[in-house]
Amino acid sequence: MYKCPHCGKPGISVWRKLCLGPLIPAICKQCGNEVWVPYSSAMFVMIPVIIATVLTVIYIDSIMLKIAICVVVAIIGSVIYLKYVPLVPKYK
């Protein structure tokens, strides 16, 4: 669980943070306030993942290799997203 920027308690699950985006807030399970991620931080991770995936689909012929590369890119992107994209409070 990740700490909520509002209350400082663990209120955001790993899966919820992975599904979180600049336009999709999460609700802290502890305090009920909305949390989101900054657009610039999310794009810093997502743009390279999208580019790598598109280039793999275009230039690799083997379907098994395409799948393997896309899975590896998704895992690496998820780890970077979880580690470096901050949770910030969303105010109404």
Sheet with strand 26-27: strands edge to edge: 26-27, 34-36, 88-89
Q: What is the pLDDT of residues 48-77, one digit of tens each?
A: 999 999 999 899 999 999 999 999 999 999
Q: What is the pLDDT of residues 12-32, one digit of tens each?
A: 999 999 988 778 889 999 999
Output the six-digit token pair for 26.
């999460």
